[in-house]
Copies of this chain bind each other. A is one copy, B any other.
Amino acid sequence: MSSIGRRGALAALLAMVLAPLGAQQSIPIQNGAPVPPPGLPVPPLPNEPIVYPTAEGMDIRVSVVARGLENPWSLAFLPNGDMLVTERNAGRLRLIRDGALVPAPVAGVPEVRGVGLSGLMDVVLHPRFDETRFVYLSYNKPFGEQAGLAVARGRWNGQALTDVRDIFETRDAGSISRLAFGADGMLYVTTFGGTGDAAQDPSSLAGKVLRLRDDGSVPPDNPFVGRSGYRPEIFTMGHRSPLGLALHPASGQLWEVEMGPNGGDELNVLRPGANYGWPVVSYGRTYPGPWQSEKGSTHEGFEAPLVYWMPSISTSGLAFYTGNRLPKWKGDVFVGGMRYGEIPGTGRLERVLFNENMEELRRESLLVDLRQRIRDVRQGPDELLYLVTDHATDGAVLRIEPAN
Contacts and interface: CB of A to CB of B under 8 A. Distances in A.
A300 B3 CA distance: 26
Interface stretch (A48-56, A71-79, A124-132, A372-380): A48-56
B23 A250 contact: yes
Interface string A246-288: 0001111100000000110000000110000000000101011
Given A55-B38, A250-B23, A365 B340 contact: yes
A359 interface: yes
B37 A221 contact: no
Q: How many copies of this chain sit in the oligomeric assembly?
A: 2
A339 B356 CA distance: 24
Contacts of A10: 252
A289 B357 contact: yes
Contacts of A38: 55-57
Interface stretch (A151-159, A307-315, A395-403): A307-315
A365 B4 CA distance: 36
Given A14-B252, A365-B341, A2 B311 contact: no
Contacts of A364: 341, 343
Contacts of A340: 363, 365
Contact of A359 (B18, B285, B357): B285
Interface in A1-42: 2-4, 7-8, 10-12, 14-15, 18-19, 22-25, 27, 34, 36-41
Given A298-B296, A353-B27, A251 B12 contact: yes
B24 A250 contact: yes
A223 B4 contact: yes
A342 interface: yes
Contact of A289 (B24, B287, B360): B360
B356 A24 contact: yes
Nearest to A265: B310
A346 B369 CA distance: 12
Interface in A330-359: 330-332, 340-346, 353-357, 359
A contact face: mostly helix, strand, loop, or mixed: loop
A55 to B, nearest CB: 4
Contacts of A39: 55
Contacts of A221: 2-4
A202 B346 CA distance: 44
B25 A330 contact: yes
A322 interface: yes
Contacts of A4: 184, 221, 223, 272
Contact of A362 (B34, B345, B363): B34
Nearest to A296: B298
A54 B40 contact: yes
A116 interface: no
Contacts of A229: none
Contact of A346 (B14, B36, B365): B365
A133 B191 CA distance: 65
Given A288-B355, A343-B362, 11 more contacts: A7-B184, A7-B252, A8-B271, A19-B250, A22-B331, A37-B56, A289-B354, A311-B362, A342-B361, A343-B363, A346-B365
9 contacts: A19-B356, A23-B320, A23-B330, A24-B356, A40-B55, A55-B343, A263-B360, A290-B357, A341-B365
